[in-house]
Copies of this chain bind each other. A is one copy, B any other.
Amino acid sequence: MHGLDRILEAALAEDIHTGDITTLAVVPGKRDAGAILKAKESMVLAGIDVAARVFRLLDPAIRFTPRFSDGARLQSGDILAELQGDAAFLLQGERVSLNLLQRMCGVATLTSLYVEAVAGTRARIVDTRKTTPGLRVLEKYAVRVGGGINHRTGLYDGVLIKENHIAAAGGIAEAVRRARAYIPHTMKIEVETETLGEVGEALAAGADIIMLDNMDLAAMRQAVATIGGRALVEASGGVSLDTVRAIAETGVDIISVGALTHSARAMDISMLLEGY
């Protein structure tokens, strides 16, 4: 992941700043130790290279040996990785690497639940921009690990014409026309709709993707039928594990879920030092 080091160095500086005063005071000098990272519940692994990189940045001499790769389904008790190196650096990297790893595994695991819930349908699960500020690239990676795909990364690499844009432009047709004239030919145009009337307008305007925002199942089914494959159909709004299957069965192509990054619980992982 290009740019990862900047995130990790900021996280380490936030935690260590002028130094780990306890270790400096109590255990000065070098002292070799081993450690393991251990899953305390079942989960989808995501971020093992991120965890490794945290320690590498602290001390290139630390050996970090992963036992699983991202995407692996872990059981409680599984050893994710073994570490060997200077105990002071193992202790300094513990919290930052776990804070990131637990969050990434949480996102991947939650994503995998949504993906499983729609298995057998044509629907794909995608994320949103409701991510943790500063960590978006890591969370979107974890979504992919969990079997989802990504929506646009930010406001700069995708076009999503919303209600306010439409009102300001004077209608869907004009909004789409303006976008087509301006954007790279490599980008698709997505239009947010709230009614079947708007769906029709967006289709007529040549939208590549039509978002059905907070529609009920019947409306979604009808929209899918109306669109008839001439645009991708994205369902959005109020999606939960309870509702996602029914939504998928309406025939939509894409279901975007804010909860993937917004409400993912951190997975329980701990680091155990040995032979200090």
Complex contact A151–B95 (CB within 8 A)? no
Complex contact B10–A152 (CB within 8 A)? no
Distance of A98 Cα from B129 Cα, bound (Å) = 11
Complex contact A22–B160 (CB within 8 A)? yes
Complex contact A179–B26 (CB within 8 A)? yes
Q: Given B136, B155, B178, B266, which contacts A20 in the complex, CB threshold below 8 Å?
A: B155
Scoring A residues 155 to 199 as 1 if CB is less than 8 Å from chain B, else 0, what string do you get? 111111110110111000001001101111111101000000000
Complex contact A133–B2 (CB within 8 A)? no
Scoring A residues 1 to 44 as 1 if CB is less than 8 Å from chain B, else 0, what string do you get? 11100010011111111111111111100010100000000000
Kindly state whether residue A219 has any CB partner on chain B within 8 Å.
Answer: no
Distance of A179 Cα from B2 Cα, bound (Å) = 19
Complex contact B16–A154 (CB within 8 A)? yes
List, in ascending order, chain B residues with CB within 8 A of A22's CB: 155, 159-162, 165, 179
Copies in the complex: 6
A242 CB to closest chain B CB, in angstroms? 17
Kindly state whether residue A209 has any CB partner on chain B within 8 Å.
Answer: yes
A211 CB to closest chain B CB, in angstroms? 11
Kindly state whether residue A91 has any CB partner on chain B within 8 Å.
Answer: yes
List, in ascending order, chain B residues with CB within 8 A of A187's CB: 21, 157-158, 186-188
Given A168-B87, A184-B150, verify A26-B175 contact (CB < 8 Å). yes
Complex contact A135–B133 (CB within 8 A)? yes
